[in-house]
Structure 1
């Protein structure tokens, strides 16, 4: 339990032979609440995807909860809320059914949910303030409420580390405030938070540390108040600026940062 939640040492992360994040050194202690900041295309989402095993570690070391990335045996120890606004409105599923999906890493392939699993789902839904909507179709919820369903889905696995990509994007101020309250409670319970975002305002009372990614390099690591905020029109995702729905990871990746390099035969 004394191991860091995350440890990167000289880590280079990318796609194929294209390095997006380069030579990253970062340690996140258990229980910390950290913002990963950067403008669109800076590499901040690639950093989080490398930690999740969804992007390739091309060099250096990435460890998650004391294990090399991709080798953590209990996948439920890491929760993830992806970068998208809502659950699909066409999904004919209830809140309970969607959140139960988050319990699968704890269940394994063949075990059916038992009383402990059902209790974890109910607790996760209550934690995001939707206990009274447990049996409602997700399509009947507002965008902000659907966003909270995705958070509950991640919380259902009872993760030690929760990684979130743009959790406040595209939802109204009331929903942002509700989410901030949820994360404050989660953080107070000891869960490590890593939040990839371009706007820290709604979560400023929760996040205490910031890491800034600029053109694939970590350029700042310190108190949130000293990080500043990415400025300019590129700090928002293009789909958001155009009023189109977000499409998940593809908004940020796999576009290389301006000075991304290719890695071949172990050299850069």
Structure 2
């Protein structure tokens, strides 16, 4: 992963409104995330936290204000591989069977483009990403044979394979067991230590409390709190982490195994 000066800005929102159609879900938000920070985005269901993340990824339109990622307006970043994304999806599933290696190799498309073969450096990046999530011994196994928690780690490896400078994750610990949550926390600690900026959307930070150091609490489309992670629960107030709030945000499309695959050479050479 790339290293960056502490003074650099990875994410900047100025008076930003993000929503769907002409309806803002996030309204007039200001937020700055510096390179190397590990930020939790907290809030109840429907609070706007997922819409905020989707706005950064260009998956929800910016209706007003400014949103910048890695120094470029959202949607205009030329090197897409600089931003990794793990969607809010508990498992990897699909009609097309694929091995762990094949799924993770798809993450290199952001660096290569659709029609280029993986070279030696790309194959090394895929191997490093799989090893980083603790699945090196499962490289050639079908993803469908893995547990839900292991499949979540495959999705993390897919994002890491592009060697991103910014990694955005939506509810990465939801629906997986405690052992898988601990394994993911260890992965993210290593990723953060390399200087990669983390932005993690979650409804509870317990499993990642040793990794995430700063939090913002989104409430009814506004940032209610921005400060150390330790103060987030008190700032949210009683009842703020329940299922109240505005209408539910549209779900993301997530990752599908029928997306483009990558040619890595003959199976015998793997």
Q: TM-score w.r.t. structure 2 length?
A: 0.86
Q: Determine the structure 2 residue equivalent to 1:249.
A: 252
Report the counterpart of residue 221 of structure 2 in structure 1. 216
The change in CA–CA distance for 1:169 and 1:82 in structure 2 (over 3 A counts) is same
Structure 1 pair 84–22 and aligned structure 2 pair: CA distance change class (3 A): same
Normalising by structure 1, report the TM-score: 0.87
Q: Distance in 1 between matches of 2:189 and 2:112?
A: 27
- Whether 1:28 aligns to 2:37 is no
Question: What is the rounded CA distance, in whole Å, between the counterparts of 2:174 and 2:78 in structure 1?
Answer: 32
Which consecutive segments of 4 or more residues in structure 1 shift more than 4 A? 229-233
1:147 corresponds in structure 2 to 152
Q: Which position in structure 2 is the counterpart of 1:174? A: 179
What are structure 2's unaligned runs of at least 5 residues? Answer: 245-249, 255-270
Residue of 234, 238, 243 corresponding to 1:234: 243
> Partner of 1:187 in structure 2?
192
Shift of 1:109: 2.9
Distance, in Å, in 1 between the alignment partners of 2:142 and 2:191 is 25
Instruction: Return closer, same or farther for 1:48/1:232 CA change in 2, 3 Å cut-off.
Output: closer
Q: Is the 8 A contact 1:35 1:207 kept in 2?
A: yes
> CA offsets, 1:14-56, max 9 Å, x none?
1110001001000000000000000000000000000001111
- 1:248, 1:176 → 2: CA distance? 23
Q: Which residue of 2 aligns with 1:258?
A: none
**Structure 1: gaps spanning 5 or more residues:** 236-246, 252-268
Please give the residue correspondences for 1:1-268 in structure 2 after superposition, counting only pairs within 5 Å.
2-88=7-93, 90-228=95-233, 231=240, 233-234=242-243, 248-249=251-252
Structure 1 position 234, deviation (Å): 1.4
Please name the residue that 1:255 is paired with: none
How large is the Cα RMSD of the aligned pairs? 2.1
Q: How many equivalent residue pairs?
A: 243
CA change 1:55–1:175 in 2 (3 A) is same
CA shift, 1:233, in A, is 4.3
The 1:215–1:195 alpha-carbon spacing in structure 2 relative to 1, beyond 3 Å, is: same
- Alpha-carbon offset, residue 3 of structure 1: 3.4
For residues 44 and 109 of structure 1, the distance between their equivalents in structure 2, rounded to whole angstroms, comes to 31
CA contact (8 A) 2:43 2:241 kept: no
Displacement of 1:249 = 2.4
Matches of 1:125 and 1:53, distance apart in 2: 27
Identify the range of structure 1 (88-97 vs 118-127) with the bigger mean alpha-carbon deviation.
Answer: 88-97
